[in-house]
Amino acid sequence: MDKLERKLSALYLVSLVFCGLSFFVMVFILAQHNRVAADDYRTVAETLNQGILLTAWRTYLSWIGRWSALLTSSFFALLARDTGSLLAFTWATYVYFAISVCALVESVYRATALSGGSRPPLGIRIGLGVFFAHLLFFLTPNTRESFNWLSGATCYGWGVSHWILCLAFWVGALTGVRKAAIASALFAMLASSANEPLGIYIVVALGGAAALFWIAGQRERAISTSWCWLGSLLGFVIMALSPGNQARSSHYIQPPLSEVAQRVMLIPWQFTSQYVYSHWMWLVGTLLFGFFLAASSVSSRRGMTPAKVLVGASACFVFIEASNWILMFPAVYLGGHPPPDRSWISNSTMMFFALIGLGAWLGFLHGPLQRSTRLALQFGFVVMICGLGGFRLSLTQRMMPGISAYTEAYDQRMTLLRTYQAQDRRDPLELKRLPYQDILFYVEWDVADISEAFKLPFKTVAGQ
């Protein structure tokens, strides 16, 4: 390796470290300012009175069957009982998400090494994992609800993290590690019980993978995948059999099946076109990054042809749209309308994996890159990684005044509520509206939730 390659490799590592640090700087600031909101107040109050398990069980019976999300939200709600701070929850959410992506990156590299590929140093692999987590977070629609809101994140952000860890252990199981199959089944059960769309998708995906392995004559891989599928099926069935689902679905009007089919076919196309239009630069970078990593790790040319490229691109598109259809059907059928923005994290995650997979497949077909091409791509990714980190730091700096004012006003409100509660006052309390900010989740129609949690009468929220 000549001097230029050594310098570029050093810059590559430094850019990964910088991008990772910018991600955790954001997490540190969010953790300091994140607070409970909306449904969280009820969860905090119920957990304080009933405990974690009883709160999750009663909610399972009366409202919703997402049992893994209920257990997680009840646990962290208990930690937020005094101040409303979600410090531990925010750190746990983002660190768990980063660990899951790092574990998947490590599993894929270990599998490719067994097939004759090369693995970069451990520091590079960890840096790549954190970078991919950062990029995936950046590509996620409405992160304020899917990552920062306690009630929403335990269903969607944590559900996706469970699913990514399931995939990490599943890759290990495919290489013959039997204990990995058990761990994959466990995380598949947790992921499939986090929310209904993701649960249906996981059951269908793992069942289809097991069937394909069996048809291809790969019996051991089919059996390992079947264990994962059984775990996902068990988790989903427990969620689906919840008596609370009927009470919750009674609040919605279910449209005719013909209308459901029309919406399920239309909404994914709308999401894909709008999402690609607003994120096209980073999506292209994701595709090229997968290509670069695969082409840098192989030692022999497999032979790329236009026909193979077309087949791979078509398969990627079909995978994306099929994933979107499967993920959309439960929400449209049960609710009669498109799902909330926070649920799109499952779709954006599948799109991210599809593009990484397509890029890697093309890289393996292409074989080793020429020196000039490899250096040019590596330099381009150094710029891309540094750009992502710098953009994140810029956003973090811009959001600071807004969330600082929000947190100060929120803590003053909580102090006032605690004072009224301690004095057992019955005169109506008028709350001032919290300052607007678009990073942390909060709503001002949650007066009923606050009133029930603190057992206090309230007037409507007043403007500033």
Residues of the chain above pLDDT 90, percent: 10
Judge if 295 and 305 occupy the same domain. Answer: yes
Q: What is the DSSP string of 294-341?
A: HHHH-SS-----HHHHHHHHHHHHHHHHHHHHHHHHHHHHHHSSPPPG
Judge if 260 and 333 occupy the same domain. Answer: yes
Residue 27: pLDDT above 80? yes
Window from 16-25, 234-243, 306-315 with minimum mean pLDDT: 306-315
- Quick check: is 444 in a domain? no
Neighbours of 372 (CB within 10 A): 8
pLDDT in tens, 152-162: 889 899 999 99
Window from 152-166, 238-252, 437-451 with minimum mean pLDDT: 437-451
Torsion-angle region of residue 34: left (phi > 0), alpha (psi -120 to 50) or beta?
beta
270 or 181: which leads in pLDDT? 181
Residue 247: pLDDT above 80? no
**Distance (Å, whole) CA 94 – CA 97:** 5
Q: Per-residue pLDDT averaged across 288-314, rounded? A: 71
Q: Per-residue pLDDT averaged across 391-419, rounded? A: 83
**Distance (Å, whole) CA 339 – CA 16:** 35
What is the length of the chain? 464
Judge if 260 and 361 occupy the same domain. Answer: yes
- Quick check: is 127 in a domain? no
Residue 147: pLDDT above 60? yes
- Quick check: is 386 in a domain? no
Confidence of residue 186 (pLDDT cuts 50, 70, 90): very high
Judge if 224 and 292 occupy the same domain. Answer: no
- Domain end call among 217, 250, 283: 250
pLDDT in tens, 61-110: 888 888 999 999 889 888 877 667 788 899 999 999 999 999 998 888 88
CA neighbor of 238 nearest in space, from 65, 443, 459, 46 = 65
Q: Per-residue pLDDT averaged across 170-186, rounded? A: 85
- Quick check: is 385 in a domain? no
Judge if 323 and 222 occupy the same domain. Answer: no
- Quick check: is 17 in a domain? no
Judge if 258 and 355 occupy the same domain. Answer: yes
Judge if 278 and 188 occupy the same domain. Answer: no
Q: Per-residue pLDDT averaged across 121-142, rounded? A: 83
Judge if 293 and 243 occupy the same domain. Answer: no
Judge if 289 and 336 occupy the same domain. Answer: yes
Confidence of residue 338 (pLDDT cuts 50, 70, 90): low
Confidence of residue 452 (pLDDT cuts 50, 70, 90): low
Domain around 203: 178-250
Average pLDDT, the chain: 79
At residue 131, the pLDDT reads 85
Judge if 239 and 276 occupy the same domain. Answer: no
Residue 133: pLDDT above 50? yes
- Quick check: is 286 in a domain? yes
**Distance (Å, whole) CA 98 – CA 134:** 8
Contact between 156 and 342 (Cβ < 8 Å)? yes
Judge if 303 and 226 occupy the same domain. Answer: no
At residue 451, the pLDDT reads 65
Judge if 204 and 273 occupy the same domain. Answer: no
Q: What distances in angstroms separate CA 15 from CA 140, 250, 310, 384, one per listed residue?
A: 22, 51, 33, 9
At residue 458, φ and ψ (nearest 5 deg) are -130, 150
- Quick check: is 203 in a domain? yes
Query: Per the structure, how many domains does the chain have?
Result: 2
Whether the pTM exceeds 0.75: the reply is: yes
189 or 309: which leads in pLDDT? 189
Most confident residue range from 241-250, 301-310, 406-415: 406-415
